[in-house]
Amino acid sequence: MTNPRIVILGGYGTFGSLIADQLAPSGAQLYIAGRDASKGNVFADSIHAQFIHCDARNTDALRDTISGKYLLINAAGPFQAKDYSIPRACIEHGCHYIDLGDGREYVAGIRQLDDSARAKGAFVCVGASTTPAVTSAAAAELCRHFRRIGSIKVALSAGNRNQAGVSTIASILAYVGLPVRIWQGGRWRQKTGWEMGEFFDFPKPVGRRRVQLCDVPDLALFPSMFQAENVVFKAGVELTLFNYAIGVLGLLRKLRPASNMSALAQLLVWFSRLFKSLGTTHGSFAVSVTGDSGAEKSLAFVAPQNGPRVPSAPALLLARNVLAHGIPAAGAFPCVGFISLAQFAEYLAPFGIFVVRGENGSWSSA
């Protein structure tokens, strides 16, 4: 295929811009879509792409944006947990679709679009970001070492100087203080988003950071995928005070469950920028798997800098694979099993991001 047309919705956002920048030399005709024409045009010009003005909530604008395109990469976020309007519109136009969105129900429920995607020959893949794409690749590699899986634990912490985008903060606020179902002792139990806080020891230079319970696709997908007895996913930000501040929002949410916390995302991003000079660029995520004998194996990706390359890697690598080899299959899938751990490690190494392995609670260099 010569010069396929690819549109990146949210292509000048935090992760969208990293994907766009890396896809620019691919030979594809690149389009950057979003609601802010001045930001969008400046960024599109800088990578020799074209800007398309599009509010994805506007059906006509979305249809015009998708029409004639080979692939749409969505880095704008799903706007509600069960809103499949963007992937549905792509399927209707026979446009392939890759989405960084990591809402638990959104990713776990995508199979409901499988029949319509297959009928149109479209590849639809959601959760093309750290969770579940990279975490599942790491868990799969660790689970190989055990006959039966006792527990899978994922912990993630971002460096304070790596500014999170509004869409990422909105997706965290969507579950803070609300019930979260987790698989514990072979059955579903109800906990609360951003509770179960603990300090977790990441490999150097990240070190000890606070993490709390998150409502992510891994919690829904891993129990059956790996036949695990327990699955938990915790994340946090570098500055301990911010973790507690988000916890306070959770307490308020518990008192008033109907409050729309996601609307605070813009304000929180603005507020966190005031503290950007504190902390570091060091981030990491770690996956630990315990076998039924109690032995534990762990694997962490450590980013002393360039941390945002990790969440942007799956969509980028998947898009490159599709451009090079065509779609892996027609249908609608969570982003698990499409990219290997070795592919992630190879792509991330030039950015100084490395893998560390651990056993029974202690880390050693890979």
Ligand X SMILES: NC(=O)c1ccc[n+]([C@@H]2O[C@H](COP(=O)([O-])OP(=O)(O)OC[C@H]3O[C@@H](n4cnc5c(N)ncnc54)[C@H](OP(=O)(O)O)[C@@H]3O)[C@@H](O)[C@H]2O)c1
Element (H, E) at 47: none
Q: Is 351 helix (H, G, I), strand (E, B) or coil?
A: helix
Length of the chain: 366
Measure the CA–CA gap between 103 and 316, rounded to whole angstroms: 19
Least separation in angstroms between residue 67's CB and ligand X is 16
Binding mask 289-318 for ligand X (x = CB under 6 A): ----------------------x-------
Q: How far apart are CA 104 and CA 45, in angstroms?
A: 35
Task: Kindly identify the residues of this chain, within the stretch 154-183, that bind ligand X according to CB under 6 A.
Answer: 164-168, 171
The smaller minimum CB distance to ligand X, of residues 143 and 216, is found at 216
Contact flag: residue 218 with ligand X (CB under 6 A): no
237 three-class SS: strand
The minimum distance between CB 91 and ligand X, in angstroms, equals 19
- Tell me the sheet residues that pair with 124: 97, 332
Nearer to ligand X, 39 or 357 (CB): 39
Q: Taking contact as CB under 6 A, which single stretch among the options 6-14, 326-334, 339-347, 358-366 is the one that binds ligand X?
A: 6-14
- As measured in angstroms, the least distance from the Cβ of 35 to ligand X is 3
Report yes or no: 286 and 202 within 8 Å, Cβ to Cβ.
yes
Task: Closer to ligand X by CB, 34 or 283: give it.
Answer: 34
Q: Report residue 345 as tokens.
A: 């490690």
Told to check if 100 binds ligand X by CB under 6 A, we report: yes
Binding test (CB under 6 A) with ligand X, winner from 25, 27, 55, 342? 55
Closest by Cα among 356, 169, 206, 341 to 284: 206
Opening angle at CA 259, ends 128 and 12, nearest 5: 35
In terms of CB distance, is 61 or 330 closer to ligand X? 61
3 state SS of 93: coil
CB 348 within 8 A of CB 140: no
Contacts of 281 (CB under 8 A, 6+ apart): 159, 161, 162, 303, 304, 305, 306, 307
* Cα(355)–Cα(348) distance, integer angstroms: 10
Determine, following the binding rule CB under 6 A, whether residue 36 of this chain makes contact with ligand X: yes
**Binds ligand X (CB under 6 A): choice among 7, 8, 9, 219:** 9
The reply to whether 34 sits near ligand X by the rule CB under 6 A is yes
Is 136 a residue that touches ligand X (CB under 6 A)? no
- Residue of 290, 286, 295 lying closest to 150 (CA atoms): 290
Cβ of residue 335: shortest distance to ligand X, in angstroms? 9
Q: Is 283 in the site for ligand X (CB under 6 A)?
A: no
Q: Which of 56, 138, 154, 219 binds ligand X (CB under 6 A)?
A: 56
14 belongs to the binding site for ligand X (CB under 6 A): yes
Under rule CB under 6 A, residue 97 binds ligand X: no
Tell the smallest beta-carbon distance from residue 52 to ligand X (Å). 10
Phi, psi of 123 (to 5 degrees): -100, 120
Contact 160, 210 (CB under 8 A): no
Could you tell me the two tokens for 317?
């690598």
- Among 6, 7, 8, 13, interactor with ligand X by CB under 6 A: 13
Q: Which stretch binds ligand X (CB under 6 A): 122-130, 194-202, 207-215, 326-334?
A: 122-130
161 neighbors 276 (Cβ within 8 angstroms): yes
List contacts with ligand X (CB under 6 A): 9-10, 12-16, 34-36, 39, 54-57, 75-77, 100-102, 127, 129-131, 164-168, 171, 311
